[in-house]
């Protein structure tokens, strides 16, 4: 049979991603009036890396009552041609069976169950270890709707391309259908999704990270027009040249192909809970944010909740599970969420937040009983580890874990490793997926559908210089400006160079599902709706001295900054006026018990250096130029006001 001629599928990328190449369309497909129907073409050959399973009688047959779901799944089945279809119900029996099958196929390795009960190790393909922002697309009707920070493709063309790639892709495999809920089930913000996947690892991870199973089908009901997210994922052949993560906000749909890494394939997480949800939030009048949520309770029993936006691998999980130093006896920190917050304006004019997730997908390296004891206690059981090292006694190890390195281990690639080896034992972006119920400091209000009231919003990034330890914005619009201009040094959480400073507004640069300028506008318009808005702050735990050493001890000592923030919310703590906002004076921070910390160090941490801020202003201006003409004038005016204050 003659091969059809390729056709170009145009994709517009932000300048930082643009190259001379383009995506190609393997064959001509005609799109029907249903959102993804297309003509069948001969699939290209691919190795079966996900063999079909044969489930016990009665398992995998729990279909929902919703006809729209059934029709959609049937069309995907006809397209991908799996050997069988497995309808997941989230039960313990199902989970036990799938864990056994995953171990039998080599997808998982069972760890020492005496040391690590319920724990398993997964190794991803070495070419597939992080989010791929270059091949993450927003497929909106126009380029303007996607905005200048997103890769864009016209939806119909991308549907044709993707379904051409997916034709026959699941032959010899099981097609799993995963129903799930994001958010507390009784929350008005809760969303139902269905993910179709040929990866058993995805199914097992989704059971941890979402409220997965029959409860989602029950909540959706049988109405044919009920809202649900349609997600399709296939490993294909895990080839980087055939890797795409595509979002169709107007259709509430996601298609991911060619990857097995969690951030690209757990479609509930960054894909739905941020990219699609941010679009829905703008349409529906709420906020979907890349933020942790924590509770702070004083010895007197007064409690506040704080939301904080940090880029990936910048300490969100550590902060969300913070243990105060001994000096702060009686203070309690509880975790509502460690990564994503959905927030709405309450009837009383306050901002309320829920955590849409049901688990934590945290970065492993550097996690220890010193840096995050609560995370370590959480991952002692019922955890899926990805790309960490395996010791000879069936335990896991990573750089930064407590104790001495093992004398010999198997590294994240499956190769022998010793302390003398050149490479890392664990990948820098190795991960754990663990149920939030394992967290010993889980907040008692985590399932509250109305959410928890937010007293403060914190923005922060990884900056070696310029940004002081903490400062407070002068008001809502100034706070939105601070968030919009936020920058951080890149980490291993995404592919690309590490250590470069890039603008990451509100930690949403890779996750905003529509035009970032309209996203800023949505934040600005939310302010007047709040009778009692949260105070807004910026923090930087990562400032260094001239010798390249961190000035701030971080981890539990971040409680000292958090207490100042809470005291500011209650109108108690002092601060000094500065061009960038209110900055605490050394005497305003409770530093008692902080050993080896000199007055010179705290002054350096709080310093505002004119030369560094001149560079910062220039960097912000350059970034805003790349967003023109979409930056709201209110933010440009905030930038001009800051420049004038710094020039005085």
End-to-end CA distance of the chain: 75
Q: Is 314 a catalytic residue?
A: yes
pLDDT score recorded for residue 248: 98
Asked whether residue 493 carries a pLDDT value surpassing 80, the answer given is no
What fold is seen in the domain 288-358+442-647? Phosphoenolpyruvate Carboxykinase; domain 3 (3.90.228)
* E strand segments, 350-481: 351-354, 359-363, 384-386, 389-391, 396-397, 409-410, 416-417, 431-435, 452-460, 470-472
Above pLDDT 90, what percent of the chain? 88
pLDDT band of residue 35 (cuts 50, 70, 90) is very low
pLDDT score recorded for residue 490: 76
Q: Where in the chain is the domain with CATH 3.90.228.20?
A: 288-358+442-647
* E strand segments, 183-269: 191-197, 211-212, 229-234, 244-248, 253-257
Average pLDDT over residues 594-611: 94
Strand partners, 352: 344, 453
Average pLDDT over residues 491-512: 78
* Residue from 88, 139, 314, 569 carrying the catalytic annotation: 314
Asked whether residue 18 carries a pLDDT value surpassing 70, the answer given is no
DSSP 8-state secondary structure symbol assigned to residue 462: -
Count CA atoms closer than 13 A to 378's CA, side-chain side.
31
* Least trusted range by pLDDT, from 6-20, 389-403, 621-635: 6-20
Average pLDDT over all residues of the chain: 92
pLDDT score recorded for residue 129: 95
Rg (CA), the chain: 24
pLDDT band of residue 38 (cuts 50, 70, 90) is very low
pLDDT band of residue 315 (cuts 50, 70, 90) is confident
pLDDT score recorded for residue 497: 57
Q: Where in the chain is the domain with CATH 3.40.449.10?
A: 65-89+128-285
- Please give the C-alpha separations between residue 380 and each of 134, 166, 210, 409, in angstroms, as whole numbers: 35, 38, 20, 19
pLDDT score recorded for residue 499: 64
- Per-residue pLDDT tens for 353-386? 999 999 999 999 999 999 999 999 999 999 999 9
Rounded to whole angstroms, the maximal C-alpha distance in the chain is 79
Extract the tokens encoding 299: 């010895």
Tell me which architecture the domain covering 65-89+128-285 has in CATH.
Answer: 3-Layer(aba) Sandwich (3.40)
Asked whether residue 23 carries a pLDDT value surpassing 90, the answer given is no
Has this prediction a pTM greater than 0.85? yes
pLDDT score recorded for residue 26: 32
pLDDT band of residue 7 (cuts 50, 70, 90) is very low
- Per-residue pLDDT tens for 385-408? 999 999 999 999 999 999 999 999
Extract the tokens encoding 225: 């027009």
């Amino acid at each position: 049979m003659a091969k059809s001629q390729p056709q170009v599928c145009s994709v517009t990328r932000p300048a930082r991603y643009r190259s001379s190449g383009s995506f190609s369309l393997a064959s001509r497909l005609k799109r029907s009036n249903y959102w993804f129907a297309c003509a069948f073409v001969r699939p290209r050959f691919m190795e079966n890396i996900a063999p079909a399973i044969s489930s016990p009688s009665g398992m995998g047959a729990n279909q929902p009552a919703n006809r729209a779901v059934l029709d959609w799944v049937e069309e995907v089945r006809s397209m991908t041609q799996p050997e069988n279809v497995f309808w997941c119900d989230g039960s313990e029996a199902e989970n036990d069976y799938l864990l056994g099958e995953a171990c039998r196929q080599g997808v998982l390795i069972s760890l020492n169950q005496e040391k690590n009960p319920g724990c398993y190790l997964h190794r991803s393909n070495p070419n597939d270890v992080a989010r791929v922002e270059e091949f993450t697309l927003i497929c909106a009707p126009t380029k303007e709707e996607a905005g200048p920070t997103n890769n864009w493709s016209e939806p119909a063309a991308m549907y044709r391309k993707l379904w051409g790639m997916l034709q026959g892709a699941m032959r010899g495999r099981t097609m799993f259908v995963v129903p799930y809920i994001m958010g507390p089930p009784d929350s008005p913000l809760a969303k139902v999704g269905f993910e179709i996947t040929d990866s058993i690892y995805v199914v097992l991870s989704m059971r941890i990270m979402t409220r997965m199973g029959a409860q989602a089908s029950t909540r959706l009901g049988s109405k044919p027009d009920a809202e649900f997210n349609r997600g399709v994922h296939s490993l294909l052949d895990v080839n980087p040249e055939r890797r795409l993560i595509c979002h169709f906000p107007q259709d509430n749909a996601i298609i991911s192909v060619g990857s097995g890494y969690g951030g690209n394939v757990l479609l509930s997480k960054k894909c739905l809970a941020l990219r699609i949800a941010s679009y829905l939030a703008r349409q529906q009048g709420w906020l979907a944010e890349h933020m942790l949520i924590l509770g702070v309770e004083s010895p007197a029993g007064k409690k506040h909740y704080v939301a904080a936006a940090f880029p990936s691998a910048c300490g969100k999980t550590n902060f969300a599970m913070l243990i105060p130093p001994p000096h702060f006896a009686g203070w309690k920190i509880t975790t509502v969420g460690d990564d994503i917050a959905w927030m709405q304006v309450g009837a009383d004019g306050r901002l309320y937040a829920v955590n849409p997730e049901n688990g934590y997908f945290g970065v492993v390296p550097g996690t220890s009983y010193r840096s995050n004891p609560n995370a370590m206690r959480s991952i002692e059981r019922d955890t899926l580890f990805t790309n960490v090292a395996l010791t000879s006694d069936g335990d896991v190890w990573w750089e930064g874990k407590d104790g001495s390195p093992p004398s010999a281990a198997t590294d994240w690639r499956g190769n022998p490793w010793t302390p003398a080896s050149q490479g890392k034992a664990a990948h820098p972006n190795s991960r754990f997926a663990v149920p939030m119920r394992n967290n010993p400091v889980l907040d008692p209000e985590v399932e509250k559908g109305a959410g928890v009231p937010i007293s403060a919003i914190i923005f922060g990034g990884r900056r070696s210089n310029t940004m002081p330890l903490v400062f407070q914005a002068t008001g809502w619009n100034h706070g939105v400006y601070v968030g919009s201009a936020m920058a951080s040094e890149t980490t291993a959480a995404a592919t690309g160079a590490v250590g470069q400073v890039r603008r990451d507004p509100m930690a949403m640069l890779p996750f905003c599902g529509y035009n970032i300028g309209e996203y800023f506008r949505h934040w600005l318009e939310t302010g007047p709706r709040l009778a009692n808005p949260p105070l807004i702050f910026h923090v930087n735990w990562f400032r260094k001295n001239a010798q390249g050493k961190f000035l701030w001890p971080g981890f539990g000592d971040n409680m000292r900054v958090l207490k100042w923030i809470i005291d500011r919310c209650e109108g108690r703590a002092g601060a000094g006026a500065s061009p960038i906002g209110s900055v605490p004076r050394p005497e305003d921070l409770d530093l008692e018990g902080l050993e080896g910390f000199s007055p010179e160090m705290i002054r350096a941490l709080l310093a505002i250096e004119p030369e560094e801020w001149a560079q910062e202003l220039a960097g912000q201006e350059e970034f805003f130029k790349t967003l023109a003409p979409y930056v709201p004038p209110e933010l440009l005016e905030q930038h001009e006001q800051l420049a004038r204050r710094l020039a005085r």
